[in-house]
Amino acid sequence: MLKFIIACSTAMLSCFSISQEVVDTLETEKGTMLIYANRTWEYLEDKEFDGLLNPELHEFIMRDSSLNYVCPWDTDQCYSSNKTNDLTKLKDTLWLCVVDTSHNEFVMPFDGKITSRYGYRRGRYHNGIDIDLKTGDTVVSAFNGKVRYAKYNDAGFGNLVVIRHYNGLETFYAHLSDINVVPNQEVKAGDFIGLGGNTGHSRGSHLHFETRFYDAPMNPEEIIDFKEKIIRNENLFVHKGLFRPGAMPSHVASPTADGSAAYYRIRGGDTLSQIARKHRTSVSRLCQLNNIRPTTTLHIGRSLRVR
Ligand SMILES: [Zn+2]
């Protein structure tokens, strides 16, 4: 019986075809690699893998049939089941081992200054925490796990890596300038997964980092002490209070009364008043939307929210 199917690396799509001759296979800690004649490579996908990295936890959740939570292994959608999983309906408190004896590691995804926290911010929910970095800085996996999603996301995340972990959580790493992993690749805490950047809806280079449980975002600071750069507690008690009712899953602004948010990428020679005129808004509104001052220096390539 054929147990494995080939997993496509988005990075490789442009330069290999499925008919490529496999010249070697390599058993690595990160999975089985196929080496092609043209020197490209990819990881094998285990066809029988159901996406469950914490089966005990999933079994516990499944005992409550009214919840009907799903966590598919979807390498194409960063979250696919947000309409199904309503974490505010959780009746029990689940005990989750953030780090345990077999997967006992945590590493800060990037050691930088926190520039924005989780929560309600300028008219929308911010589903993660922003860590300041320079484009090209190394971003690493926070825990051991398996890469589920690794590609450009046009809903605002830019280049995005999503890793599912053995503790039952998923972590999101957004706005990367480059991605260094492919779906189905196993990673260890501290493994290099990509370079920091300013892609997607981002104003200036930073890492947008999210922690999610069954697709629902929770405050990363419930889990990680960003000041001490350690796990707050090896036990995490997951209860409905950690989740927001009717949570918009997206990193992107929730739609406003006059339509959804819009962004503009700054070009050379732009001024705030020109941008405001072009988008039929005012300088003060732009300042309010972007939390900047009229005198703020505009950086070419950065995105400004204009609506
Ligand atoms: Zn952010």
**What does the DSSP assignment read for the chain?**
---EEEPPPTTTTTT--TTPPEEEEEEETTEEEEEETTS-EEEEEETT--S-S-HHHHHHHHTSTTT-------SS-S-S-TTT--GGG--SPEEEESS-SSS-----S----EEE-SEEETTEEE-SEEEE--TT-EEE-SSSEEEEEEEEETTTTEEEEEEEETTSEEEEEEEESEE---TT-EE-TT-EEEE-B--SS-SSSEEEEEEEETTEEE-GGGTEETTTTEES-SEEEE-GGGS-TT----SSPPPBTTB---EEE--TT--HHHHHHHTT--HHHHHHHHT--TTPPPPTT-EEE--
Clarify whether residues 168 and 284 are in a common domain: no
Would you state the pLDDT for residue 10? 34
Q: Specify the pTM.
A: 0.70
**Amino acid letter, residue 242:** L
pLDDT digits (tens, 9 = 90+) for 67-78: 888 888 888 999
Q: What is the mean pLDDT of the chain?
A: 82
* Among the ranges given (39-43, 58-62, 248-252, 262-266), the one the predictor scored with the smallest mean pLDDT: 248-252
Would you state the pLDDT for residue 289? 77
pLDDT digits (tens, 9 = 90+) for 125-153: 899 999 999 999 999 999 999 999 999 99
Q: Is residue 59 part of a domain?
A: no
Check residues 40 and 18 and name the one with the higher pLDDT.
40
Q: Is residue 178 part of a domain?
A: yes
Ligand 1 centroid–CA 279 distance in Å is: 24
Contact 77, 219 (CB under 8 A): no
Neighbours of ion ligand 1 (CB under 5 A): 128, 130, 208
Ligand 1 centroid–CA 129 distance in Å is: 5
Ligand 1 centroid–CA 209 distance in Å is: 7
Ligand 1 centroid–CA 124 distance in Å is: 11
* Among the ranges given (4-13, 102-111, 154-163, 286-295), the one the predictor scored with the smallest mean pLDDT: 4-13
Closest CA to 49 of 22, 37, 31: 31
Ligand 1 centroid–CA 207 distance in Å is: 7
Residues 6+ apart with CB under 8 A from 241: none
* Among the ranges given (104-113, 167-176, 250-259, 293-302), the one the predictor scored with the smallest mean pLDDT: 250-259
Clarify whether residues 21 and 167 are in a common domain: no
Ligand 1 centroid–CA 208 distance in Å is: 4
- Taking residues 22-45, what's their average pLDDT? 77
How many whole angstroms separate alpha carbon 37 and alpha carbon 162? Answer: 30
Check residues 66 and 227 and name the one with the higher pLDDT.
227
End-to-end CA distance of the chain: 54
Ligand 1 centroid–CA 275 distance in Å is: 23
Residue 211 has pLDDT above 90, yes or no: yes
Q: Is residue 53 part of a domain?
A: no
Residue 303 has pLDDT above 90, yes or no: no
Q: Is residue 165 part of a domain?
A: yes
Residues 6+ apart with CB under 8 A from 124: 248, 253, 254, 261
Ligand 1 centroid–CA 126 distance in Å is: 6
Q: 98 lies in which domain range?
A: 77-242
Q: Is residue 82 part of a domain?
A: yes
Ligand 1 centroid–CA 128 distance in Å is: 5
Q: Is residue 248 part of a domain?
A: no
Residues 6+ apart with CB under 8 A from 145: 53, 163, 164, 165, 166, 171, 186, 187
Contact 81, 72 (CB under 8 A): yes
Counting the structural domains of the chain, the total is: 3
Ligand 1 centroid–CA 97 distance in Å is: 26
Q: Is residue 55 part of a domain?
A: no
Clarify whether residues 100 and 198 are in a common domain: yes
Clarify whether residues 219 and 81 are in a common domain: yes
Ligand 1 centroid–CA 110 distance in Å is: 14
CATH number for the domain spanning 177: value is 2.70.70.10
